């Protein structure tokens, strides 16, 4: 047991997460001791004191003998600093500056200068600095194109996109994966309430449409797995979205730049459902293997085969989907670097348009705890979870595989307690980037979100009092819908005076 003690609340959160990143398998508690002289003290199995966050990082580094790939950064958006650096260094240049990349595809002096600064300032490794720089450049370019001729600027100087994007959440899946950190439910368990959920959702969509006219810039239907709805329900969902938000007109007028539906699980995909998506103008879908190793799919509770992944992908291509994303996860239980390499080989054969590489997020329990949980669920022993060195090599292999497929990294985010302090990275071929992913991660546009657990983010040009931060002035206000599916249905039925109780 390690106790993290800080003399101020503001430091506590950071100190706890930094300690957890260095020592992921230890039990760590945290508390504020206002009268404590040192800013941070670690007691118990480890004893150390630090006056600043930087001192804490170097003390933990010396103690463990390791650097963290993202150095001192524990936040979810490490690329933000790269974006700021670029803005600062490109300031005064023309609006669309010449691409600073060298002809060999590296970013030459710019990247080197940034990497040196990033290590000096935050101890970020050269490899991570390189990815952050490339992503910041790519996002800057895409956002400039979306802005058009008249950039909008927040009162703090940050550029943003006027208008809004739409998220619709379907919190059901064919079965619940053992590692799932979303509040998704099995469609089989909720079968008798899916129609009521959809009715509740349509009411919320209607209300949001009345509040914010005009068309969304992008539409994203996610979850969960939206294609776990049956064909008739999926048709009804997309028809209601068309009617409420005038999507066909917006797509035709070129105002809606992207329409994504997460087809996610291959065991939810049928030709009929893909045809429904096509008829409604969906431009981008995801078919997510997570792994192409059958032993792993069995262990993590994905009730489908690797052949179903190949079949679903092939079917989508034959029906004309020319922007298909695939998700994979590094560090799944029992997987080695060789397994990841084989998964990447099979993905290269399918040749998707974009690839999102996640690292297994470990929430609240250690790797050993997760193995136990998975073993209980699968009724057998799972293999070991790879150590951080091996996960790091898997991530590197994915980077090179994506490059070989002609993709570049275009968005990145981290989760708290992610295995080995790594990150999730989206790669895409040119013009195939998921615009919604950039908008939501970079927080450069309002997102109206409908559905259980969905989170609306409203961006204001002038700062407004933020109730979630004790009235502090911020540009972004977040409003979260209730996560519990039954409670979500109940609230919307109450709102309209209906009850099925």
How many residues bind ligand SF4, per CB under 6 A?
Answer: 11
User: What is the CA 180 to chain-centroid distance, rounded?
Assistant: 13
Asked if 117 touches ligand SF4 (CB under 6 A), the answer is no
Stretch that binds ligand SF4, among 19-27, 107-115, 219-227, 404-412 (CB under 6 A): 219-227
Asked if 331 touches ligand SF4 (CB under 6 A), the answer is no
Asked if 359 touches ligand SF4 (CB under 6 A), the answer is no
Q: Which of 42, 73, 177, 398 binds ligand SF4 (CB under 6 A)?
A: 177
Stretch that binds ligand SF4, among 20-28, 169-177, 445-453, 468-476 (CB under 6 A): 169-177
Residues 303 and 264: beta-carbon distance below 8 Å: no
| Least gap, CB of 411 to ligand SF4 (angstroms) | 18
Asked if 173 touches ligand SF4 (CB under 6 A), the answer is yes
For residue 59, give the 3-state DSSP assignment.
helix
User: What is the CA 16 to chain-centroid distance, rounded?
Assistant: 22
Asked if 189 touches ligand SF4 (CB under 6 A), the answer is no
Asked if 386 touches ligand SF4 (CB under 6 A), the answer is no
| Least gap, CB of 439 to ligand SF4 (angstroms) | 21
Angle at 309 between CA 304 and CA 314, to 5 degrees: 145
User: What is the CA 375 to chain-centroid distance, rounded?
Assistant: 27
Q: Which is nearer to ligand SF4, 334 or 453 (CB)?
A: 453
| CB within 8 Å of 500: residues ≥ 6 apart | 196, 493
From first CA to last CA, the distance across the chain in angstroms is 47
Stretch that binds ligand SF4, among 135-143, 177-185, 375-383, 472-480 (CB under 6 A): 177-185
Q: Which is nearer to ligand SF4, 222 or 420 (CB)?
A: 222
d(CA 204, CA 382): 42
Q: Which is nearer to ligand SF4, 28 or 173 (CB)?
A: 173
E strand or H helix that includes residue 263: strand 258-264
Output the DSSP codes for 390-416.
Answer: HHHHHHHHHHHHHHHTT-EEEEEE--T
Q: Which of 184, 217, 392, 445 binds ligand SF4 (CB under 6 A)?
A: 184
Q: Which is nearer to ligand SF4, 11 or 175 (CB)?
A: 175
Q: Which is nearer to ligand SF4, 87 or 486 (CB)?
A: 486
Q: Which is nearer to ligand SF4, 11 or 286 (CB)?
A: 286
Q: Which is nearer to ligand SF4, 78 or 264 (CB)?
A: 264
Name the residue among 39, 135, 126 with its Cα closest to residue 81.
135
Asked if 176 touches ligand SF4 (CB under 6 A), the answer is yes
Neighbours of 242 (CB within 10 A): 16
Q: Report the sign of the C-alpha dihedral through residues 489, 495, 500, 501, in that order.
A: positive
Residue 191 has what DSSP assignment? G
Q: Which of 216, 264, 352, 409 binds ligand SF4 (CB under 6 A)?
A: 264
Asked if 180 touches ligand SF4 (CB under 6 A), the answer is yes
Output the DSSP codes for 14-55.
Answer: HHHHHHHHH-TTS-EEEEE-TT-SSSEEEEESS-EEESSHHH
3 state SS for 296-323: HHHHCCCCCCHHHHHHHHHHHHHCCCCC
d(CA 443, CA 320): 32
Stretch that binds ligand SF4, among 139-147, 158-166, 170-178, 338-346 (CB under 6 A): 170-178
CA dihedral angle for residue 59, residue 60, residue 62, residue 66, rounded to 10 degrees: -150
Token pair for residue 143? Answer: 């956002």
Asked if 225 touches ligand SF4 (CB under 6 A), the answer is yes
Q: Which is nearer to ligand SF4, 67 or 311 (CB)?
A: 311
Asked if 224 touches ligand SF4 (CB under 6 A), the answer is yes
d(CA 348, CA 478): 38
Q: Which of 117, 119, 182, 212 binds ligand SF4 (CB under 6 A)?
A: 182
| Least gap, CB of 262 to ligand SF4 (angstroms) | 9
Asked if 265 touches ligand SF4 (CB under 6 A), the answer is yes
| Positions that interact with ligand SF4 (CB under 6 A) | 173, 176-177, 180, 182, 184, 223-225, 264-265
């Amino acid at each position: 047991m390690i106790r993290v003690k800080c003399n101020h609340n503001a430091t506590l959160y950071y100190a706890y997460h930094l300690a957890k990143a260095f020592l992921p398998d230890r039990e760590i508690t945290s508390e504020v001791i206002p009268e404590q002289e040192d800013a941070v003290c670690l007691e118990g199995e480890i004893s150390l004191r630090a006056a600043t966050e930087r001192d804490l990082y170097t003390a933990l580094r010396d103690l463990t003998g390791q650097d963290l790939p993202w150095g001192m950064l524990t936040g979810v958006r490490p690329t933000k600093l790269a974006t700021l650096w670029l803005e600062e260094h490109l300031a005064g240049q023309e609006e669309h500056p010449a691409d600073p990349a060298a002809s060999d595809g590296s970013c030459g002096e710019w990247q080197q200068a940034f990497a040196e600064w990033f290590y000096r300032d935050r101890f970020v490794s050269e490899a991570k600095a390189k990815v952050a720089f490339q992503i910041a450049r790519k996002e800057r370019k895409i956002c400039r194109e979306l802005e058009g001729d008249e950039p909008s600027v927040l009162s703090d100087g940050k550029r943003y996109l006027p208008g809004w994007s739409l998220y619709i959440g379907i919190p059901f899946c064919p079965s619940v994966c053992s590692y799932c950190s979303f509040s998704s439910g099995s469609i089989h368990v909720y079968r008798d309430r899916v129609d009521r959920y959809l009715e509740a959702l349509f009411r919320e969509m209607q209300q949001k449409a009345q509040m914010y006219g005009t068309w969304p810039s992008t539409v994203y239907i996610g979850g969960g797995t939206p294609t776990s709805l049956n064909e008739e329900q999926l048709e009804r969902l997309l028809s209601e979205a068309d009617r409420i938000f005038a999507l066909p007109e917006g797509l035709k007028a070129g105002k809606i730049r992207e329409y994504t539906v997460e087809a996610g699980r291959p065991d939810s995909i049928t030709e009929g459902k893909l045809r429904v998506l096509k008829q409604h103008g969906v431009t981008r879908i995801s078919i997510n293997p997570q792994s192409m190793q059958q032993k792993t799919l069995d262990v993590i509770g994905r009730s489908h085969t690797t052949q179903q992944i190949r079949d679903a992908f092939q079917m989508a291509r034959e029906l004309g989907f020319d922007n298909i994303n695939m998700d994979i996860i590094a560090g799944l239980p029992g997987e080695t670097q060789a397994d990841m390499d084989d998964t990447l080989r099979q993905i290269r054969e399918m040749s998707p348009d974009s690839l999102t590489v996640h690292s297994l997020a470990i929430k609240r329990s250690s790797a050993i705890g997760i193995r136990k949980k998975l073993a209980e669920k699968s009724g057998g022993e799972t293999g070991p979870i790879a150590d951080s060195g091996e996960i790091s090599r898997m991530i590197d292999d994915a980077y090179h595989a994506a490059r070989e497929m002609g993709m570049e990294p275009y968005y990145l985010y981290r989760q708290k307690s992610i295995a080995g302090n790594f990150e999730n990275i989206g790669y895409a071929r040119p013009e195939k980037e998921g615009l919604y992913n950039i908008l939501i991660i970079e927080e450069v546009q309002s997102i109206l979100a409908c559905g259980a657990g969905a989170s609306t983010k409203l961006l204001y040009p002038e700062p407004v009092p933020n109730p979630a931060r004790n009235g502090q002035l911020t540009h972004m206000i977040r409003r979260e819908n209730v996560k519990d599916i039954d409670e979500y249905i109940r609230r919307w039925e109450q709102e309209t005076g209906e009850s099925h109780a």
